[in-house]
């Protein structure tokens, strides 16, 4: 069982693979709509599909995630690692702390020139297809 967490405007703000990850999000869940979704739907969101929520139904749309060159991908990595660094400053007791910091280290050491450009998919879809353990930015508390 996985979860999508929406704000009052029905915008997706977080995704969680399980109860523990949901509870680790540092959110007041009663102020959000928490929707239980299948693992397949969670994987769609985690690998880059755009999630649309109308207050009742969840639908998906493919997201245009094109990285035209290595500097675009590196910029994305920098944004993700900065988010993990912010999270890590005061959350060493969070259950996601170690896994997210391992992912951050992976991104910092990944050779972006090893990817063929343009990359006509999300980074997360690339990871999924290449058996790389990854976290979507919406999984970072």
CA distances from 21 to 18, 126, 129 (A): 5, 23, 23
pLDDT tens digits along 52-104: 999 999 999 877 667 999 999 999 999 999 999 999 999 999 999 999 999 99
Report helix, strand or coil for 34.
strand
Residue 46's domain spans which residues? 2-61
Assign 119 to helix, strand or coil: strand
Same domain, 55 and 83: no
How far is C-alpha 49 from the chain's CA centre? 11
DSSP classification of residue 92: T
Contacts of 9 (CB under 8 A, 6+ apart): none
Pair of tokens at residue 98: 């170690």
Q: pLDDT for 27-55, tens place per residue? A: 988 899 999 999 999 999 999 888 999 99
30 plus 76 within the same structural domain: no
Residues 22, 83: one domain? no
Reply yes or no on whether the pLDDT at 7 is more than 90: yes
Helices (H) and strands (E) in the chain, counts: 5, 5
- What's phi and psi for 4, nearest 5 deg? -110, 140
**Is residue 122 located within the same domain as residue 85?**
yes
Angle, helices 70-89 vs 97-109, to 10°: value is 150
Report the pLDDT averaged over residues 117-121.
91
Query: For the chain, what is the domain count?
Result: 2
Same domain, 78 and 57: no
Q: Looking at the structure, tell me whether residues 127 and 77 fall in a common domain.
A: yes
Query: Do 89 and 49 lie in a common domain?
Result: no
Q: Is the pLDDT of residue 18 over 70?
A: yes
Give yes or no: residues 74 and 135 share one domain.
yes
């Amino acid at each position: 069982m996985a979860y999508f967490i929406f704000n009052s405007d029905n915008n997706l703000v977080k995704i969680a693979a399980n109860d523990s990850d949901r509870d680790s999000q540092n959110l007041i869940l009663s102020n959000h709509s928490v929707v239980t979704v299948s693992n397949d739907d969670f994987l769609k969101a985690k690998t880059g599909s755009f999630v649309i929520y109308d207050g009742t139904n969840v639908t998906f749309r493919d997201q245009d995630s094109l990285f035209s060159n290595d500097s675009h991908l590196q910029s994305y990595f920098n944004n993700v690692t900065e988010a993990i660094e912010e999270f890590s400053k005061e959350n060493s007791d969070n259950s996601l702390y170690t896994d997210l910091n391992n992912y951050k280290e992976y991104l910092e050491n990944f050779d972006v020139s090893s990817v063929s450009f343009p990359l006509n998919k999300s980074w997360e879809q690339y990871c999924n297809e290449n058996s790389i353990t990854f976290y979507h930015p919406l999984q970072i508390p």
